[in-house]
A and B are shown apart, each in its own frame.
Chain A
Amino acid sequence: MKYSIFSLLKNTLSGHRNWAPAWRDPQPKKDYDVVIVGGGGHGLATAYYLAKVHGITNVAVLEKSWLGSGNVGRNTTIIRSNYMLPGNNPFYEWSMKLWEGLEQDFNFNAMVSQRGVLNLCHTDPQRDAFARRGNAMRIDGVDAELLDTEGVREMYPFLDFSNARFPIKGGILQRRGGTVRHDAVAWGYARGADARGVDVIQNCEVTAIKTEKGKVVGVQTNRGYIATKKLGLAAAGNSSEVAAMAGLKLPIESHVLQAFVSEGLKPYIDGVVTFGAGHFYVSQSDKGGLVFGGDIDGYNSYARRGNLPMVEHVIEAGVAMIPGLARVRVLRSWGGIMDMSMDGSPIIDKTPINGLYLNAGWCYGGFKATPASGWCFAHTIARNEPHKLNAAYRLDRLRTGHMIDEKGQGATPNLH
């Protein structure tokens, strides 16, 4: 069914009792042309674009839990394309363009809200770096505005401008950045893929990857064996574990990132603001809660919960930026498992095993990349070669010295 004002009116008149489920609950078939491991945002988007752009519909998405139970439902919902390096920015800008047309494209309300993303700077060198980044963005056709202190004050007068240690010198603003209702992204892609014939199979965990003579032949799951010649891995925090089933050791560590939401407040922060002297980012959800997060905890983890020292650290950074936050109560916190790569950038590539494709290493920037990641991964799987937008996200780039390290941290996954 196409969702529209008419379908809404019709279902309102019948008391909302006749809405059809948004996707089927199919039994796994014996074989598929393509199998995607991971029913999160990236896996579902990949299946959607495989069907829509490449006409490949005999596809299964295998999700070990329920749809969107991983990072697509655990992030702080921010979208932006304010990167600097050549391999990154065209990719993220394509993602932004897909976000801009996404709701019409998949006929689902994902509440894409281009409310602006403002990064604050607190020193002169940081402002210089922002100017450089903004210029790099504009070369790639991305919008970027450098604000001075007064420009920031006009937008957010309640920030701590008189902070002696971290005075606000200005900021870089991407007005096209913003937030998206994250669960709806998973649901919209699942519904769109399902309508085109893709089997979205929940509670189906891959337990082994079967290869013969260097080629993928299928996967063993807790719901039986599924044959396929093309297998795409989009398992986010579990990437190392899944890839190990095929004998691959990845340049990835899994780390826990915590996020938080406050009690509901009246409209307070109408965009996304990030602190430049620590790691803190905040926006306000349409329900009124402030949604915020900071750094990863810093140790390998698959636990989906963090420890209190990082909670304290994040909230200290938040209060340093917005003193008024000290009076706001935190309602909930949770954790997600990040696939932290060695240079802070992702991998969308073929692997040394024929028919095995890898989408991993998103660090904590995976949500904003969802549409372009699915779009590029679908292209890579369908054509058996990367699109030029993901050509730099090679699995072997660390071996050849072509790392894409925005922060310049080197091979230290817990610092990216």
Chain B
Amino acid sequence: MLITCPHCGTRPVEEFTFNGDASITRPTSGDMDQWHDYVYLRHNPKGRFEEYAHHSGGCRAWLVVTRDTATHEIFGAVTARDHAKKRSAK
């Protein structure tokens, strides 16, 4: 798998550390059910998937990579900051 980092360009998969489902959002309240869902439940689809990836072997930025989990095809990567901005704009 080759991932195109917005800062570093196209880099091999071993430079990245994955942290899974990027669809979850950190709760702003103290509601325990919301926290349980945030910490433990995961969107885990077969197919198109947005996931957090840390470019730990490169610029060390947190990214959100869009990838197909059934084929490993990579559709693109944006910084986690841009992803969050886009999400909050929705």
Contacts and interface: CB of A to CB of B under 8 A. Distances in A.
Interface in A397-416: 398-399, 411, 413-414
B40 A300 contact: no
B36 A309 contact: no
Contacts of B45: 240-241
A334 to B, nearest CB: 15
Nearest to A339: B44
Nearest to B73: A303
B20 A251 contact: no
A399 B41 CA distance: 10
Contact of A300 (B13, B36, B49, B71): B49
Interface in B14-50: 14, 17-18, 20-21, 32, 36-37, 39-46, 49
A241, A250, A299, A302 interface centre (most CB from chain B within 10 Å): A299
A36 interface: no
A307 B42 contact: no
A300 B41 contact: no
B36 A399 contact: yes
Interface residues of A, number: 23
B40 A302 contact: no
B20 A253 contact: yes
A307 B13 contact: yes
B7 interface: no
A414 B39 contact: no
A300 B72 contact: no
B12 A309 contact: yes
B69 A300 contact: yes
Nearest to B71: A303
B18 A299 contact: yes
Contacts of B1: 299, 307
B42 A414 contact: no
Contacts of A253: 20-21, 42, 44
A77 interface: no
Given A240-B42, A251-B40, A342-B40, A414 B20 contact: yes
A251 B41 contact: yes
Contacts of B37: 249
B70 interface: yes
A373 interface: no
Nearest to A241: B46
Contacts of A240: 42, 44-45
Interface string B37-67: 1011111111001010100000000000001
Interface of A: 238, 240-241, 249-254, 298-303, 307, 309, 342, 398-399, 411, 413-414
Interface of B: 1, 12-14, 17-18, 20-21, 32, 36-37, 39-46, 49, 51, 53, 67, 69-72
List 9 tightest A-B contacts by C-beta distance, closest first: A240-B44, A309-B14, A299-B18, A302-B46, A251-B40, A398-B40, A249-B41, A302-B70, A399-B36
